[in-house]
Amino acid sequence: MNKNVNIIIDGKTITAKEHDNLLNVARQNGFDIPGLCYHPRLSPTGACRLCVVKIEGTNGLVMACTVQVKDGMKITAFDEELENNRRHTLSYLLAEHNEEYDETYHDEFRPLIERYNLKEVAQRPIKSIWQNIPRVVDDTSPVLTYDSSKCIRCFRCIKACEEIQGKGVLSFADRGIQKYIVAGTGKWGSSECDGCGECIQLCPTGAIVEKPHRNIINIYKIDKKVVTSCPYCGVGCQIEVWTQNNQIVRVNGVEDVSPNYGRLCVKGRFGYQYANDRERLTQPLIRKNGKLEPATWDEALTLVANKFNEIRQKYGKKALAGYSSAKCSNEDNYIFQKFIRLAFGNNNVDYCTRLCHASTVAAMIRSLGDGAGSNSIEDFETTDCLIVIGNNIIETHPVTATFIKRGKQKGQKIIVIDPKWTPLVKYADLFLQPRLATDVALLNGMMHVIIKHHLINEKFIEERVEGGMQAYEQLKELVMKYTPDLVEQITGVPEKLFTEAAIMYATAPTAMIATGMGMSQQTVGTNNVFALLNMCLITGKIGRERCGINPPRGQNNVQGATDVGASPVMYPGYIPVTNEENRKKVAKIWNVPFEELDPNPGLTTLEIMDAAHEGIIKGMYIMGENPVITDPNQLHTIEALQNLEFLVVQDIFHTETTAYADVVLPATSLFEKDGTVVNSDRRVLRLRKVLEPTGEALPDWKIIVEIAARMNINIGNYLNEEEIWNEIRQVAPILSGITYERIEKQGIQWPCYDEYHPGTSTLYKDKFNTSSGKAKIYPVEYQEQSEKTSAEYPLVMNSGRILYQYHSATLSRKSDVLNAYASESYILIHPDDAVKYKIQDRKKVKVCSPRGELITTAIISDEVLPGEVFMPWHFHESPVNALTRNEKDPISKIAPFKYSVVKLEAI
Amino acid sequence: MKNDFPYISLKNVDKADLTKIENYLHFGGFSAIKQSLGLSADEIIDRIKKAGLRGRGGAGFPTGLKQSFTKTSCEVCLQKYVVCNADEGEPGTFKDRYIMEKNPFAIIEGMIIAAYAIGANKGYIYIRGEYEQAIRTMQAAIDDCYRYDWLGKNIAQSNFSFDIDIYIGAGSYLCGEELTLIESLEGKRGYPRIKPPFPAEKGLWQQPTLINNVETFSHIPFIINEGYEAYACIGTAESKGTKLFCVSGNLKQTGVFELPMGITLRELIYDVCGGMLEGFEFKAALLGGAAGTFVDASFLDVPLAYETLKQKGATLGSGAVMIIDQATNLKDLLINILEFFKHESCGKCVPCRIGTTLIYERCKKAQLLPDDINWLIQQTEYMSRNSLCPLGQSPILPVKSFFTYFNV
Amino acid sequence: MQNKQTEEQVLEILKQFKPEKSEILKALHALQNAHPLHYITEEAITQTARYFKLTTGQVYGVVTYYSMFSVKPRSPFIIRLCKSPVCYMKGSLNLWNYLSQKLLLNENNISSDDLFTLEPSECLGHCEQAPAMMINEQVFTNLSPKKIDQIIDDFKRKYHEK
């Protein structure tokens, strides 16, 4: 931290931090020095020349934005000469500026024109010349329009793109008075721009304006500006949502607040259209004569309650199960799991985390004690070395990726390990491309290198690993079998590359790992993460700041849903279902007899579906999930759902799953909710109601409470979400200290045990959260896949996500903007395979696996290895899960979405 | 006029083709390197300081001082650089081209000594793209130096290693400004950087960088070989050494002339260049190029040196001396210069981007009234105080001097 | 004559340079000089960006900043006529008009035979022999209409001989 210094501005003594930006300091202390090119999030530019000041001992005029504060500095911020200069500069700017203003954007320039008395043309010393300057308008982007006649060439957009987002897509073209902003070679639409809109947010004059709702928005007619959390991925970006007539018209990133500090991605900024979509469910539906027909809430709720009670009586407690939702709030999920445990009387509650990071969580809990990322998002910028493995982080966690790109600009080493090329490779020092499902071999090979080069951290192993060097010796014995030759043979990664990567990681002063679905969604998912953890542990790259392992979460509240107990094996706060003492404590808080709480773990997501398929589960309650698209082996899923006696689906839209529902209940969207979520770095963040509910839609938790009441189940009475949260705090000690009041502005990271606890930015600094307080090494062997390629199915299919769509695309495909960027399914195939199987670029192909088939478009690309193909799974018309299998990882029960044998046929 | 001065930048170029390394060696070339390698860095810098060498690019900053700043700017540096500014874009200036084409090894020798003095191992010569011949000559000279071990590893069997690469500009006057040149050298658009930090502290790739003009480097071997006293006795009190003057216009003889600082315009025109061409009369001179000052006949006897010209509100700049005769329409010439600034403004800062257009447009008016003239001067004054880099700060020089000495 | 640059040709040229930022301007010069029409194509910009790990916008920004580069097709010969103060005093404006008429320039300043593009240039640094011009990499000084006739005819002849 810099020391405090005193400076004097216009006679007033001000204390500031040494090297702080003078303009910033002056403004914070009430000196309203004008300036248009400066922005606190950007490096100073000194282009607009409005923030001129005088500094004693310095000749001439100085731009305050370019000065760092020094002790004893004497500054004149306002005098006649400075004000005259500023006025003159403004009149210059005004001369090249098109003043038309349509009230659709916030203009920082106009107030200055009034302030400096330049509103009337007669008052202006300089005549307009903008009409004579070539005007460039670029309207090719789906999200924005650029108009050079309104541009003051302040560099803010260029720097927003480069310094904040790390993309560098924008530049000036030409020079002098004619220069203007370009993306790519002059057309935004065909450039590398991915539509995040950071440039729009930072443009001070409306030269870059948003396209969506351009004809509706009027910034003087905004009804509400509400800060809430982004509904998409698990970064937890804080967004300010603007509404007009109960319609969202704009979303901005909230400046100065973690985790995103104003940054957003294209989904967060432009993906909100679903909230006001006409297809939203507006009233309860009951299936009558095979058709879903509108019903009253009372009708629907009574039917649901009666049916659930009937099934429980007829088949027993084990015949019911529920899917909770990573898209719903903590409060919704908490009430849902409470409902299952009390109303169904079992622990059959799970949700899609089982399909994404169950294996990661399983391995981390066993080895480290907590099933969450060990670091803060900010550490992605400051760590010295980062391994990103099986995670297309630029597309799936775009804002987390901005931290990485900024780290890169400061010299961070980046190692990408992925069977498929991802955009982060452009920033990477090393790119290792192993064959699908060979990760354990690769990681064991890297540990082999680390051990051979004596790069283990003995002190760490002795002090912080259970069994110390003895445990290490066991691991060593195993990994030493993974000789470079063998590893190269299994993985296809050249020895030189993985050796370099291992050394880079092991020798970095601090190093972090980001792991993703590529690691977890395999039948060996848990082993994959064990191998990663082993590498962390023998090198001591965990348990310190900027060291650790992080699984960025895919949905806005995957983290929170498990935190608050939406799990068949854990109560809220990661306390095992089997823990009797805890059940007693919880029973007391819930005010129910202890005996009513089932001590046996429930079924996991895929086990529930299997049980339904087998006829064991008869009734199901699905809240905010779409298993027909998201679960593996689609045919199996559909058969299971059809096999149910009674299915309730609670959602905001019709989905592929509501097609099989007996009752459909309309819920409120995230924009219509209060509550909280937990993001990937364990930060509890607020949700705030932006819109009034659509039609008769109700908050999820209220629906659940109403059903419980009709089932005569005492689930509690809550006035609002905060009351639920305060109960969660009692049940889950890791969340105890976090109150709504404390997170009004900034989120707090759990564990946070009491109201004075600051929260925890880095886990395991003192001890691991295991019973011994030490981490555990689990040596793991490489295993071959049970599913093997054959003459019939010669290729292996990998699946994944893309930037512009989201999960089953129920939300994202409602957005014209996102669809404009990407709305069609495709399959990537290596050029060699394209020749081999006579596949043509951009032509339709049939993809078949032993389980099903689909039609999509082939794209020939060397992003994938020969023998492997890749498909995004967002598109219901080409459902990837028609091809995947429901085999499970034995420990975590996750399915191998990343490995299905297929064949391709041109059609 | 003093005739008893040695040639420095153009030493021996009249005697042999010094683009051939054998010839350069024949006349004692590279002996300054050998000597320097036996000296400490501080001793070298001290000699340069004592010689009183000032930067020949136009600003006249003491070279030795620049060297010591660069030498001491960091304790442990990743890398330091020496950059030779050969982006000679000032209208009316062609001396650097001349040195590069005639005496390339002297520049390289100067760079090597400077690099040794400040502890740099990598150098660049930034040559403007239009100087095809100079680029070829310099490249050949560099190649020869590598062949003769005057560049590369362990120069002259010492522990000192130094590499030079040529960088080719692509048409931007502004890139002659040192920090803009560095931006350009990093492969970017030529935008001036905010000062401070100066290149001595954070230059190329944010590392300490010594950047000097071609002519400046070419003076270093002389100072080392002949001693700083021999150098300091040439010129005037505050302007030591010789200077290359680029004389153009309707004169009997035009070209690059190496002369002691302090020579007068009259001596230059009538003694050195043999006077005006038949039918032409001296009317004015533009000293220092577009970013220079107009002078009239009252300047004929003012010594051409930094301090003497400064006293009279004029500049020596890069050494361009454009002689203007009675047949030239002065106002058209001013418009030509203002158009140049407009064309070369990078557009980064408001006063320059818009100001250069405004003054150009106003100057084009058929008849300039006193109000117009006042307005023009006002704008250039505003620009000079508010612009980010020397380009926007410059139009005041030709504009103000023009209206001081001439009526339109 | 082939008026295009293939992807392979561009890559071939780029490979002559180290993929370091301080080589970009050199590479762009080489690309432009190698193109029969002396300009930098969109594809060349895209490939240059990839080669130097930049975005196309950054490369496009660089190309359009420097006046020697062109993103528009030109012609086999680029005439850069100096219009700086000295050449101007020595009549470069007349020479401009002379050349315009002689070459029958179109609105892009390209000659009717598509061989020459006439561009104004800032000071070429040959003021002692003004007026001056460059055609591609060659400099011509002490220009007069007569001399220009000769030079242009020379270029034409040599071009057609090839």
The closest of A433, A477, A490 to A451, measured between CA atoms, is A477
CATH code reported for the domain at B242-325: 3.10.20.600
H-helix or E-strand spanning residue A702: helix A700-710
The closest of B15, B380, C45, B111 to A192, measured between CA atoms, is C45
Question: Cα separations (Å) of B134 from A657, B103, C77?
Answer: 75, 10, 21
In a mutagenesis test of the B interface, which of A151, A177, A181 is the best target, namely the one with the most B β-carbons within 10 Å? A177
In a mutagenesis test of the C interface, which of B172, B336, B339, B391 is the best target, namely the one with the most C β-carbons within 10 Å? B336
What is the pLDDT, as a whole number, of residue A353?
Answer: 84
B343–A176 C-beta distance less than 8 A? yes
> Are B236 and B307 spatial neighbours (Cβ–Cβ below 8 Å)?
yes
Strands (E), A361-494: 385-389, 413-417, 430-432
Average pLDDT over residues B274-285: 95
C122–B343 C-beta distance less than 8 A? yes
The one-letter amino acid at B313: G
Residue B347 has its nearest CB partner, among A66, A85, A177, at: A177
What is the pLDDT, as a whole number, of residue A372?
Answer: 87
How many whole angstroms separate alpha carbon A151 and alpha carbon B146? 50
**Which residues from B are below 8 Å from C24, CB to CB?**
187
B346–A61 C-beta distance less than 8 A? no
Nearest-Cα distance to chain B for C33, in Å, is 12
The closest of A138, A155, C34, C83 to B189, measured between CA atoms, is A155
Chains sharing 3 or more CB pairs under 8 A with chain A: B, C
The closest of A367, A365, A879 to A632, measured between CA atoms, is A879
B387–A172 C-beta distance less than 8 A? no
pLDDT range class, residue C118, cuts 50, 70, 90: very high
**Which residues from C are below 8 Å from A172, CB to CB?**
61, 65
How many whole angstroms separate alpha carbon B111 and alpha carbon B115? 6
Question: Cα separations (Å) of A126 from A130, A179, B191?
Answer: 12, 20, 26
* Closest residue in chain B to residue A65, using alpha carbons only: B194
How many whole angstroms separate alpha carbon B3 and alpha carbon B258? 11
Structural domains in chain C plus CATH codes:
7-65 (no CATH), 77-161 (3.40.30.10)
Tokens at A605, concatenated: 């997501």
Nearest-Cα distance to chain B for A151, in Å, is 12
**DSSP string covering A774-796:** SB----------SS---SSS-EE
How many whole angstroms separate alpha carbon A637 and alpha carbon B303? 96
Nearest-Cα distance to chain C for B181, in Å, is 11
Nearest-Cα distance to chain C for A187, in Å, is 9
Phi and psi angles of residue B234, each rounded to the nearest 5 degrees, phi first: -90, 145
Residue B187 has its nearest CB partner, among C62, C67, C138, at: C62
What is the pLDDT, as a whole number, of residue B3?
Answer: 63
> How many Å is the Cα radius of gyration of chain C?
17
How many whole angstroms separate alpha carbon A651 and alpha carbon A665? 6
Nearest-Cα distance to chain B for C92, in Å, is 12
Which chain A residues have any C-beta within 8 angstroms of a chain B C-beta? 44-49, 52, 60-61, 63, 66, 85, 88-89, 92-93, 95-96, 126, 129, 152-153, 155, 171-172, 175-179
Nearest-Cα distance to chain C for A289, in Å, is 59
Domain ranges of chain A: 4-78, 130-276, 285-292+301-356+556-734, 373-549, 795-906
H-helix or E-strand spanning residue C145: helix C145-161
* Closest residue in chain B to residue C80, using alpha carbons only: B130
Strands (E), B87-172: 122-127, 163-168
Residue B351 has its nearest CB partner, among A49, A155, A175, at: A49
Provide the number of CB pairs (under 8 Å) joining chain A to chain B. 82
Average pLDDT over residues B91-112: 97
Nearest-Cα distance to chain B for A6, in Å, is 22
Question: Is B382 an interface residue toward A (CB < 8 Å)?
Answer: yes
Task: Give the tens place of pLDDT for each residue, B320-377.
Answer: 999 999 999 999 999 999 999 999 999 999 999 999 999 999 999 989 999 999 999 9
H-helix or E-strand spanning residue A855: strand A852-860
Nearest-Cα distance to chain A for B375, in Å, is 10
* Closest residue in chain A to residue C66, using alpha carbons only: A174
Topology (CATH level 3) of domain A373-549? Dimethylsulfoxide Reductase; domain 2 (3.40.228)
**Which residues from A are below 8 Å from C24, CB to CB?**
none
ipTM above 0.85, yes or no: yes
CATH code reported for the domain at B21-232: 3.40.50.11540
Question: Cα separations (Å) of C8 from A862, C4, C5, C14, C43?
Answer: 18, 11, 8, 10, 11
Burial call B282-313: b when 16+ CB within 10 Å, e when fewer: bbbbbbbbbbbbbbeeebbebbbbbebbeeee
CA A840 vs. chain centroid, Å, equals 35
**Which residues from C are below 8 Å from A160, CB to CB?**
none
**Which residues from B are below 8 Å from C125, CB to CB?**
88, 93-94, 97, 128, 130-131
Task: Give the tens place of pLDDT for each residue, A525-544.
Answer: 999 999 999 999 999 999 99
| pLDDT surpassing 90 at residue A725 | yes
What is the pLDDT, as a whole number, of residue A371?
Answer: 86
Average pLDDT over residues A510-522: 95
Residue B347 has its nearest CB partner, among A93, A95, A179, at: A179
What is the pLDDT, as a whole number, of residue C1?
Answer: 47
> Greatest CA separation found in chain C?
49
**Which residues from A are below 8 Å from C58, CB to CB?**
168, 171
Q: Helix B104-118 crosses helix B41-51 at what angle (to 10 degrees)?
A: 120
Topology (CATH level 3) of domain A4-78? Ubiquitin-like (UB roll) (3.10.20)
> Are A601 and A628 spatial neighbours (Cβ–Cβ below 8 Å)?
no
Tokens at A705, concatenated: 């409470």
**Which residues from C are below 8 Å from A178, CB to CB?**
none
Chains sharing 3 or more CB pairs under 8 A with chain B: A, C
Which chain C residues have any C-beta within 8 angstroms of a chain A C-beta? 42, 45-46, 53-58, 60-62, 64-65, 71
Task: Give the tens place of pLDDT for each residue, A629-647.
Answer: 888 888 999 999 999 999 9
Partners of B152 in the beta sheet? B162
From chain A residues 145-184, the ones with a CB under 8 A of any chain C CB are: 167-175, 182-184
Architecture in CATH of A130-276: 2-Layer Sandwich (3.30)
C64–A168 C-beta distance less than 8 A? no
**DSSP string covering B134-154:** HHHHHHHHHHHHHHTTSSBSS
Burial call A161-174: b when 16+ CB within 10 Å, e when fewer: bbbbbbbbbbbbbb
Domain ranges of chain B: 21-232, 242-325, 330-405
pLDDT range class, residue B2, cuts 50, 70, 90: low
How many residues in total does chain A contain?
907
A170–C57 C-beta distance less than 8 A? yes
Question: Is B364 an interface residue toward A (CB < 8 Å)?
Answer: no
What is the pLDDT, as a whole number, of residue B77?
Answer: 78
B357–A175 C-beta distance less than 8 A? no
Average pLDDT over residues B186-204: 94
**DSSP string covering A667-694:** B--GGG--EEEE-TTSEEEEE---SPPS
A171–B343 C-beta distance less than 8 A? no
Residue A185 has its nearest CB partner, among C54, C60, C65, at: C60
Average pLDDT over residues A402-419: 96
| Residue A55 DSSP label | E
How many whole angstroms separate alpha carbon B247 and alpha carbon B265? 10
C130–B248 C-beta distance less than 8 A? yes
H-helix or E-strand spanning residue A84: helix A80-95
Average pLDDT over residues A411-423: 97
> Are A128 and A95 spatial neighbours (Cβ–Cβ below 8 Å)?
yes
| pLDDT surpassing 90 at residue A886 | no
pLDDT range class, residue B1, cuts 50, 70, 90: very low
Q: What percent of chain A has pLDDT over 70?
A: 100
**Which residues from B are below 8 Å from C124, CB to CB?**
130
How many whole angstroms separate alpha carbon A876 and alpha carbon A628? 9
Average pLDDT over residues C126-132: 96
How many whole angstroms separate alpha carbon A286 and alpha carbon B118? 84
Question: Cα separations (Å) of B408 from A347, B284, B362, B400, B402?
Answer: 96, 14, 14, 13, 10
Residue C89 has its nearest CB partner, among B132, B184, B324, at: B324
CATH code reported for the domain at A795-906: 2.40.40.20
pLDDT range class, residue B237, cuts 50, 70, 90: confident
Residue C57 has its nearest CB partner, among A175, A182, A426, at: A182
What is the pLDDT, as a whole number, of residue A493?
Answer: 97
How many whole angstroms separate alpha carbon B164 and alpha carbon B139? 10
Q: Which residue has the tokens 């629906």?
A: A703
Average pLDDT, chain A: 95
Partners of A664 in the beta sheet? A285, A649
Average pLDDT over residues B235-258: 94
Question: Is B342 an interface residue toward A (CB < 8 Å)?
Answer: yes
* Closest residue in chain B to residue A45, using alpha carbons only: B194
Average pLDDT over residues C109-119: 96
Question: Is A424 an interface residue toward C (CB < 8 Å)?
Answer: no
Task: Decide if domain B330-405 falls under CATH 3.40.640.10.
Answer: no
Nearest-Cα distance to chain A for C55, in Å, is 6
C60–A170 C-beta distance less than 8 A? no
Average pLDDT over residues B12-29: 96
Average pLDDT over residues A129-153: 97
| Helices of type H across A340-396 | 353-356, 358-367, 379-382, 393-396
> Are A250 and A242 spatial neighbours (Cβ–Cβ below 8 Å)?
yes
Neighbours of A469 (CB within 10 A): 13
How many whole angstroms separate alpha carbon A512 and alpha carbon A525? 19
How many whole angstroms separate alpha carbon A495 and alpha carbon A441? 12
**DSSP string covering A612-643:** HHHTS--EEEEES--HHHHSSSHHHHHHHHHH
How many whole angstroms separate alpha carbon A159 and alpha carbon A65? 15
CATH code reported for the domain at A285-292+301-356+556-734: 3.40.50.740
C58–A185 C-beta distance less than 8 A? no
| Residue B264 DSSP label | B
How many whole angstroms separate alpha carbon C86 and alpha carbon B254? 12
